[in-house]
Amino acid sequence: MPFISRLPLDVARPRTRALLRNPQQMKNEVLEAIKEGDGSERFLWRLDVEPGNRLALFAVTERTRPEWGALWEACGSEEELARFAVRDYEPMLGMLETWQEYAFKLTASPTYSEPHPAGPTSESGGAEEKRPRGTRRPIKSRSEQLNWLLRRAPGAGFRVAEIELPSGFLDEEPQAVPDVLLSDTEVKSFKKGDSVKPGAKSMVTIRKVTYTGRLVVEDEKSIRRALIHGLGSAKAYGAGLLTLASLKWIEKENRVSR
């Protein structure tokens, strides 16, 4: 069964600051927490800055209940102990139904594939030899980052809800636009683990952006898969985790944080 975890972290602690600098080290910490699994475990994680500038690690594991003891000892925020939780994700996933509306948050690494130049044809004059896969490039513009999400939403079992803007000076009719905010663009370069394949690059650069807004469920099975397996690339390095929350709960949290 899948599990979702929330660990409040103390940014004043040296180990926490080290993990914030290097997603590879955070990936290793998550792997250590699920080492009792069979080694093929899929997992997602995300670092959130919550109201009051509180930092928390969210993680979703596909089958194994994680053991966070070591990470909590090194990085945990004792003042936030009551908000430390590891929960069975199944009850929430089982509540999903078509046309339900939720607040959502997604930190993702939007990319596109840049094709390689066409290679030479074979000497026999037949079809071209198989071309290598294209190079993955980050999407940098806000409009294209938004389009990336809108294109992937149907396959992930949801659509981004819309909000109607009143007509303006040049607009005769009100406009419906996606109810989503893009923020917290982050670019990090770091060294991969020691087990880098010969000839492969040892340095990794990841560009992440955070989406917050409202969505409408359109397919329960597909959105369940997205919540467990994530969206986009760089999932092992803190991208791809989609989480949902009740709109009423979000309103309550916003009132408390004011």
If asked whether residues 112 and 229 sit together in one domain, one would say yes
Residue 85, beta-bridge partner list: 6
- Of the pLDDT bands very low, low, confident and very high (cuts 50, 70, 90), residue 97 is very high
- The DSSP-derived string for 113-149 is EEPPPPPPBPTTS-SBPPPPPPEEEE--SHHHHHHHH
If asked whether residues 77 and 202 sit together in one domain, one would say no
CB-based burial, 22-57: b 16+ in 10 Å, e otherwise = ebbebbebbbebbeebeeebbbbbbbbeeeeebbbb
If asked whether residues 72 and 133 sit together in one domain, one would say no
If asked whether residues 185 and 66 sit together in one domain, one would say no
CB-based burial, 138-165: b 16+ in 10 Å, e otherwise = bbeeeeebbebbeebbeebbbebbeeee
- Length, in residues, of the chain: 258
What value does the mean pLDDT of the chain take? Answer: 85
- Give me the CATH number covering residue 42: 3.30.70.1200
Tens digits of residue pLDDT in 153-173: 999 999 999 988 776 655 667
Q: Cβ distance 218 to 157 under 8 Å?
A: yes
Phi-psi region of 45 (alpha: psi -120 to 50; beta: other; left: phi over 0): beta
pLDDT of 175 strictly over 90: no
Q: Cβ distance 25 to 239 under 8 Å?
A: no
Q: What's the number of domains the chain is made of?
A: 2
Largest CA distance in the chain: 72
pLDDT, average across residues 234-240: 92
The pLDDT value recorded for residue 39 is 64
If asked whether residues 146 and 45 sit together in one domain, one would say no
pTM listed for this prediction: 0.83
The pLDDT value recorded for residue 150 is 97
Domain interval for residue 83: 3-91
Question: Poorest-confidence range of 165-169, 201-205, 229-233, 236-240?
Answer: 165-169
Tens digits of residue pLDDT in 181-207: 998 788 888 887 655 455 556 788 889
Q: Cβ distance 73 to 61 under 8 Å?
A: no
Tens digits of residue pLDDT in 51-91: 888 899 999 999 989 999 999 999 999 999 889 999 999 99
What the block records as the tokens of 27 is 């990936």
The pLDDT value recorded for residue 135 is 80
In a domain, 121, yes or no: no
Tens digits of residue pLDDT in 99-134: 999 999 999 999 988 776 655 444 444 444 555 667
